[in-house]
Amino acid sequence: MKHLFFSLILCLFPIAVNATAIEQAPWEPRAAAYRLTLFLGNLNPTPWDKLESSWTAPVPGSALPVSALSRVTEVESADIREALRTKDRQALFEASTTAISGGILRHLDAAETALGTSSGAEPEIAIAEALFRAFEDGIAAADASAAKEIGRAWLVLNSSVGSAGLLGNGIEDPNTIAFAEAKSTISDYVEQNYLLAEFTPRSKLTPIPESIFVSGVQVDLPATLPPGSDIADQREFPRLVLQFEEAGEDEANLPLVAYGDMLFDSPEIFGGPAQELGITCSTCHNRSDVNRDFFIPGLSHRPGGMDVDSAFFNPMFNDRTDDHLDTPSMRGIRFTAPYGRDGREPSLRRFVRNVIVTEFAGKEPTPFQLDAMVAYIRQFDFLPNPKIDRAGLLTDLASDAAKRGEVLFNTKFAGLDDKSCASCHTPSRHFRDGKTYDIGTAEPPFPGGTPTAFETPTLRNVNFTAPYMHDGSLPTLASVVDWFDSTKNLGLNADQRADLTAYILAVGDGEEPYQHFEGTDSVFRLSWEELTTFASTLDTLLPAQDAENIALLVATVAPDLAADASAMTNQAAKPDVYEFAAILRAVGVASAAGDWHEANRQWNAFKIRQAEIDERMF
């Protein structure tokens, strides 16, 4: 699982291949705009308005709140603006690549000039290196020997600037010869690959060096997300309520559910960039709820959702519409069929399959895998709410205002076709009715066309699912009440609207909505318990000699164990986790080889080791 939201990891590379979600170090403003340009430029249709603002306004993930264009030369700025004006994708690639490479060379020159002066060369080198980061993964993927040579050149460069020492101690003069040689290594490569009078047209915009691109060599460029992306878990981590768990049952005793839980946390079930980036169901649906910090520039209009059918995750199902969707909460999902905002899927099983295959380009899941996922997901319950009883009626814990609102909620209005709010948000049916309606929120797809009808959403735990409506257009429940009052001519006065809002807040409440971490009850402890529970399904899979699902489990759990160790409070025990993950990998290797004796031996070693180190796993 990806529970690294409290870690201090600041990765210099873009969020990339098989990475557990980590926070990226901020980008130099021009480099941030460039990487965003590469990402947005590969969407289809090209989002020109977003491309323009990526250069003319500060972008997420930038180290400074300034526009990239404020940092380029007049000529570079003019070329970028012209490419944006003419909506020429290739020209924009060339102009922005030139701006980055030109910046690298200028800052290297400035560093050389500053050698041995009181201002020092270090600040200029730092900026040049921060700009070079925009190309770095392209060179690493396409030209490993050059990447190493240039990497060493940066080391030489930083080492040859000399030192002002420490209060008169350890003063060192710059080594101008070594500096010049290293600078030349970097500059020459940049000039030959990124600062050209003419670039070869590219169908996909990448930081792959021109010389390699022209050669036609196939480059396995890792999938990356643009600066400002946040796919780590929500900082305020939602609480998960599983029915069996609350009833006192241990997940380890329910292998189908545990395996489904593992699949919910596995990027292996997805394909394409989602799998490469380590995205899982739980990346967006943190603990059955929503990750409201999730954000991918270009795909998300706001945190907590994205356009799931863009060109990025599965080009086959690109609907060519920039239609951000707020991630829905999955709490109580077994009670909220049909699925999808428009209720298009009557079955949870079909909906899960749709997410895996259609949205995230995964292979067709096996019936067992779908069984397992549905078995797990069906255990998601709502957060308990003592303000309502099992019939959905307010209890004595609700306020007087809420009780007045309850009466209004059950009052029929002419503007609602002589129905009440409760007619659709039926209290005894978890405040929904399983039907779809056109309540005037969506525009028809074309003049005379039929607007989409939307399924009645539950009001259970609705306090935690802002923003509201299918398009997230209303920020608060009070604004939802106001919207119905004005568009449906309910004729409510201010007090009545406040009472109705109080009622919805009462039925939409929930106990302990967020997980609390303290001391040894740490983020890693939660991961540890989950991952070892996932592994416990080997007690069932090994006797069945189910090599396929063992492989999937090991490919998910072993790397997650190792990766999550970086978030340990008890850093001293980190090596234990690496060793422990290696035992699980050994189970996978033996299973793949059909050596079931060895696989079982390693599995037993795993369980023994788990008991030995359990106490220090936090």
Least Å distance between CB 522 and other proteins? Answer: 12
User: Residue 6 or 48: which CB sits closer to other proteins?
Assistant: 6
For residues 77 and 95, give the distance between their C-alpha atoms in angstroms, rounded to a whole number.
Answer: 8
Least Å distance between CB 119 and other proteins? Answer: 8
For residues 398 and 389, give the distance between their C-alpha atoms in angstroms, rounded to a whole number.
Answer: 11
Burial grade of 563 (CB within 10 A; 0-12, 13-18, 19 or more): buried
Which residue matches tokens 């400074």? 64
Six-digit token string for 538: 């080997």
Helix (H, G, I), strand (E, B) or coil at 160: coil
User: Residue 64 or 414: which CB sits closer to other proteins?
Assistant: 64
Least Å distance between CB 527 and other proteins? Answer: 11
Chain contacts with other proteins (rule: CB under 8 A): 4, 7-13, 18-20, 22, 25-26, 63-64, 118-119, 122-123, 125-126, 129, 148, 151-152, 154-156, 158-159, 163-170, 172, 559, 562-566, 569, 571, 574-575, 578, 581
Cis preceding linkage at 45, omega within 30: yes
Least Å distance between CB 20 and other proteins? Answer: 5
Strand partners, 474: 468
User: Residue 225 or 402: which CB sits closer to other proteins?
Assistant: 225
For residues 162 and 173, give the distance between their C-alpha atoms in angstroms, rounded to a whole number.
Answer: 5
Least Å distance between CB 185 and other proteins? Answer: 13
Burial grade of 43 (CB within 10 A; 0-12, 13-18, 19 or more): buried
User: Residue 133 or 497: which CB sits closer to other proteins?
Assistant: 133
Least Å distance between CB 175 and other proteins? Answer: 11
Q: 436 phi and psi, to 5 degrees?
A: -110, 145
User: Residue 274 or 421: which CB sits closer to other proteins?
Assistant: 274
For residues 211 and 137, give the distance between their C-alpha atoms in angstroms, rounded to a whole number.
Answer: 15
Burial grade of 440 (CB within 10 A; 0-12, 13-18, 19 or more): exposed
Six-digit token string for 59: 């972008």
Six-digit token string for 221: 């460029």
3-state secondary structure labels for all residues of 358-372: HHCCCCCCCHHHHHH
Six-digit token string for 297: 């520039």
Least Å distance between CB 101 and other proteins? Answer: 21
Which residue matches tokens 């078995």? 375
Least Å distance between CB 66 and other proteins? Answer: 9
Least Å distance between CB 9 and other proteins? Answer: 6
Least Å distance between CB 523 and other proteins? Answer: 13
Which residue matches tokens 């399924």? 455
Dihedral sign for Cα atoms in the order 168, 170, 173, 174:
negative
Alpha-carbon distances, residue 71 vs 20, 101, 127, 264, 546 (angstroms): 33, 13, 11, 44, 57
User: Residue 211 or 566: which CB sits closer to other proteins?
Assistant: 566
User: Residue 129 or 230: which CB sits closer to other proteins?
Assistant: 129
User: Residue 154 or 368: which CB sits closer to other proteins?
Assistant: 154
Q: 347 phi and psi, to 5 degrees?
A: -115, 135
User: Residue 546 or 560: which CB sits closer to other proteins?
Assistant: 560
Six-digit token string for 401: 């205002």
User: Residue 9 or 375: which CB sits closer to other proteins?
Assistant: 9
The answer to whether 581 and 605 have CB atoms below 8 angstroms apart is no
Least Å distance between CB 367 and other proteins? Answer: 33
Least Å distance between CB 183 and other proteins? Answer: 15
Residue 305 DSSP symbol: E
Six-digit token string for 112: 């050389």
* Overall residue count recorded for the chain in this entry: 618
For residues 360 and 13, give the distance between their C-alpha atoms in angstroms, rounded to a whole number.
Answer: 23
Q: Which H/E stretch holds residue 140?
A: helix 122-142
Least Å distance between CB 11 and other proteins? Answer: 5
Least Å distance between CB 330 and other proteins? Answer: 26
Residue 532's closest CA among 600, 605, 614, 595?
614
Strand partners, 230: 295
User: Residue 18 or 354: which CB sits closer to other proteins?
Assistant: 18
In one letter, which amino acid is 165? Answer: G
In one letter, which amino acid is 12? Answer: L
Least Å distance between CB 604 and other proteins? Answer: 24
The answer to whether 293 and 231 have CB atoms below 8 angstroms apart is no
For residues 380 and 390, give the distance between their C-alpha atoms in angstroms, rounded to a whole number.
Answer: 17
